[in-house]
Amino acid sequence: MISPATLSLDYAAAVVHTLEQEMAFNPKVFVYGEGINDAGAYLNSTDGLAASFGEARCFDVPNCEDALVGLGIGSALMGYRPVFVSLRVDFLMLAMNQIINHAARWPAMTGYQVTVPLTIRALIGRGWGQAAQHSGALYSMFANVPGLEVVLPSSPAEGAGLLLTALRSDKTTIVIDDRGVFGAAEDMPSVIEPIPFGKARVARAGTDVTFFAISSMTRFALQVAEAVSASGISAEVLDLRTARPLDKETIRASAARTGRVAVFDIGWPGFGLSAEIARVISEASVLQRPLLSVHRRDEHTPSSAFLEDEHYPKLDEVVHRVKTHFS
């Protein structure tokens, strides 16, 4: 059977497809996670891997995040390319000693004689009343740390290409799978090509204002851009793709060109993405207008559907803010 040149896949299928492609290509790649081979586990993003490659290359493990990251570091030091899947980024808090003190630092500690090519996928996302402990977007604490790469794909095709780069990267890479980008399908080449880290994508061209977005907020930013175009505001939307490395050049060039910027973040404001973008811009140039940051409320996520709704930015309100702020 000849496979078609283009496939239409949703995020989960795109992740599975990419893992299958790379696992077939590179026998050093393997995947593991808590309950990983359960039906529907990880929102279907590991479906069928065990069937295709055997349970030796896609295996279930006990609940022990710290040891599980250690498992990845040690095998990575031996030349393997482990992929640890964590159902929620919040659960990685149990593994911070291994991630920050070990995965990120082991290369430095040896004078850069070793690499730790470990990939950690972790889900984040809003909705369904999961409250404070199950909806965190704790990615900026990783993005602060040298030695790590932090990736936040905005769509299925982006997820595929960026994951492939993670799998091939020699650094420990945290790939944040945002529930907000699951669901809808998108066309992509059947042979996935890697998308380089640190290169933002122009999701929409524009001249008056730049929207820097990441993860599921890219779609949100595009919606805002559409909405304000009617008022004569031409917004450029940049999908940053990776929070570390960050595409400083593109950020600065676009900011210099439009002189007006807004940041669309999935996390908290303080020491977060809008802060980092402000730094990147402010270190090189000046703005004509104050920076606008769009982000979840600076508090832990409530469970109630009513409160949760208020926790996240609302399209109408943001559209209104953008209009008054920049026009």
| Active site positions, annotated | 134
CB 301 within 8 Å of CB 308: yes
For position 207 contacting another protein by CB under 8 A, the verdict is: no
For position 98 contacting another protein by CB under 8 A, the verdict is: yes
Peptide bond into 245 cis (omega under 30): yes
User: Least distance to ligand TPP from the beta carbon of 223, Å?
Assistant: 32
Q: Determine the interface stretch with another protein among 7-15, 148-156, 303-311, 318-326 (rule: CB under 8 A).
A: 303-311
User: Least distance to ligand TPP from the beta carbon of 207, Å?
Assistant: 46
Closest CA to 325 of 257, 247, 224: 224
Using CB distances below 5 to 8 A depending on partner kind, what does residue 292 bind out of ligand TPP, a copy of itself, another protein, none? a copy of itself
For position 41 contacting ligand TPP by CB under 6 A, the verdict is: no
Q: Is 47 helix (H, G, I), strand (E, B) or coil?
A: coil
Q: How far apart are CA 324 and CA 327, in angstroms?
A: 6
Residues 44-73 that bind ligand TPP (CB under 6 A): 63, 65
Using CB distances below 5 to 8 A depending on partner kind, what does residue 270 bind out of a copy of itself, ligand TPP, another protein, none? a copy of itself
For position 131 contacting ligand TPP by CB under 6 A, the verdict is: no
DSSP secondary structure code for residue 155 in this structure: S
Annotate 229-295 with DSSP letters as a single string.
HTTT--EEEEE--EEES--HHHHHHHHHHH--EEEE-SS-STTSHHHHHHHHHHTT---SS--EEE-
Bridge partners (DSSP) of residue 35 are: none
What's the CA dihedral at 258, 261, 265, 269 to 10 degrees?
A: 150
Q: Given the rule CB under 8 A, which residues bind a copy of itself?
A: 66, 90, 93-94, 96-97, 99-101, 104-105, 108-109, 111, 131-133, 136, 138, 140-141, 143-147, 243-244, 246, 267-279, 281-293, 298-302
Residues 11-40 that bind ligand TPP (CB under 6 A): 34
CB 188 within 8 Å of CB 135: no
For position 114 contacting ligand TPP by CB under 6 A, the verdict is: no
Q: How far apart are CA 194 and CA 315, in angstroms?
A: 32
Lay out the site mask for another protein across 134-173 (x = CB under 8 A, - = otherwise).
x---------------------------------------
Q: How far apart are CA 216 and CA 255, in angstroms?
A: 22
Q: How far apart are CA 251 and CA 281, in angstroms?
A: 7
Q: Which of 41, 71, 94, 287 binds ligand TPP (CB under 6 A)?
A: 94
For position 34 contacting another protein by CB under 8 A, the verdict is: yes
In the complex, the residues that contact another protein under the rule CB under 8 A are 34-35, 38-41, 59-80, 82, 87, 90-91, 93-94, 97-98, 101-102, 106, 108-114, 127-134, 302-309
